[in-house]
Amino acid sequence: MIIILIAPTLSTANKKTTIKKSSLVSDITFVAFDTETTGINPKKDRIVEVGAVKFRSGIIIEEKSWLINPKRKIPHRVQKVHGITHEMVKDSPSFVDIYPEFKAFIKGSVLLAHNARFDVSFVGEEIKRNKQELPNNDVLDSLRLFRKWFPKSKPHSLSALADYAKIGEDPNHRALADSIAVALIFEKGIKTKRLSKVYKDAGGALRF
């Protein structure tokens, strides 16, 4: 069971930490994050929203979302997926403006993202495009992880997994809602005490 308790970030999450795979899962701060974009090509398209949820030992500590001005049109076909329009982002900051806050939010944590290669590639391209420093967090793909943990869920989309795991939340292709879903499903599926087993089940880690 996961308890939603919005509170200030734990002090341990603000310190520079070296995360050891031999650690207990209960000792690790995780951040589930998600991006919404103008398309599927990280070289050409841009991020329009980032959502992130910080949790530890079954408690959601903090959640955050950022609408981002991509400085280009959001195709109508993409708007129909996530519902984010030009009017919603025209006065929002650019990615480079929100990145320091995002980087501070994820500091000292292990990251989770559903179909993580997509989100990692988009965030990584935005960081490099704006000549910023890449974060050193490991990123675990919750899609691979949940396929291992919930083999009877068909398919393994977030909406199908949310129904199967009975998390009581409905992911809706918005970055924060989808991040919350990943965190809740993770807590439903976790059976091991060791972080090394989580890494193994996820097929290893990605980096930005």
Q: Tell me: pLDDT of 118 over 80.
A: yes
Q: Tell me: pLDDT of 15 over 90.
A: no
Q: pTM for the full model?
A: 0.90
Question: Helix, strand, or coil here: 104?
Answer: helix
- At residue 10 the predicted structure's pLDDT band, cuts being 50, 70 and 90, is very low
Q: What does the block give as tokens for 43?
A: 């070289």
- Which residues are marked as active site? 173
Amino acid identity for residue 122 in this structure: F
pLDDT above 70 coverage of the chain, percent: 92
54 phi/psi in degrees, rounded to 5: -100, 130
Beta bridge partners of residue 59, listed in sequence order: 3, 56
Would you state the pLDDT for residue 18? 72
Would you state the pLDDT for residue 133? 97
CATH superfamily, domain at 3-10+24-201: Ribonuclease H-like superfamily/Ribonuclease H (3.30.420.10)
Would you state the pLDDT for residue 14? 40
Cα distances (Å, whole numbers) of residue 208 to 26, 103, 138, 142: 25, 12, 8, 16
Q: What does the block give as tokens for 88?
A: 């919603």
Q: What are the sequence ranges of the domains in the chain?
A: 3-10+24-201
What number of other Cβ atoms are within 10 A of residue 97's Cβ? 13
Would you state the pLDDT for residue 9? 39
**Of 34 and 8, which is predicted with more confidence?**
34
Q: Mean pLDDT score of the chain, rounded to an integer?
A: 92
Beta bridge partners of residue 56, listed in sequence order: 59
Would you state the pLDDT for residue 154? 87
- In angstroms, rounded to a whole number, what is the distance separating the alpha carbons of residues 170 and 25? 26
Largest CA distance in the chain: 47
Rounded average pLDDT over 8-12: 38
Q: What is the pLDDT of residues 153-203, one digit of tens each?
A: 989 999 999 999 999 888 888 999 999 999 999 999 999 999 999 999 999
Would you state the pLDDT for residue 169? 82
